[in-house]
Amino acid sequence: MFDQTILKQNIIKVLGLEDLPEKRKLALIEKMTEIIQKRLLIRITEELKEEDKDEFIKISETKDEKALSDFLQTKIPNLDKIILEEIIKFKQELIKNK
């Protein structure tokens, strides 16, 4: 089961960064999002069957988010769970290392 507490926590507040200028907070959130997206990409490629990886790349290159989402939901039925796991893992790492 997921740690809903960590999932709901505002990471900026938990890390004690709420006094940073808004521009800096937004930059941090953008960087965190980028890291999570990269981790998700790795997990997704690990979950996909070899024959689906080429199709995944082709759809990704079209930038069609709906097609990509539909493809991933079809090929990785537990995608939502994977996304939550990666977000929670990342937040736990940040909290542990603060």
DSSP per residue, 65-95? HHHHHHHHHHH-TTHHHHHHHHHHHHHHHHH
Q: What is the pLDDT of residue 29?
A: 93
Q: How far apart are CA 32 and CA 34, in angstroms?
A: 5
Q: How far apart are CA 89 and CA 93, in angstroms?
A: 6
Task: Give the start-to-end residue ranges of the domains of the chain.
Answer: 4-96
Q: What is the pLDDT of residue 2?
A: 59
Intra-chain end-to-end CA distance of the chain, in Å:
25
Q: What is the pLDDT of residue 9?
A: 83
Tokens of 60: 């990704």
Q: What is the pLDDT of residue 55?
A: 94
- The pLDDT profile of the chain, 98 residues, written as one tens digit per residue, is 556 777 788 898 888 999 999 999 999 999 999 999 999 999 999 999 999 999 999 999 998 999 999 999 999 999 999 999 999 999 999 988 87
Output the pTM of the full model.
Answer: 0.83
The structure tokens 């999570």 sit at 36
Q: What is the pLDDT of residue 53?
A: 94
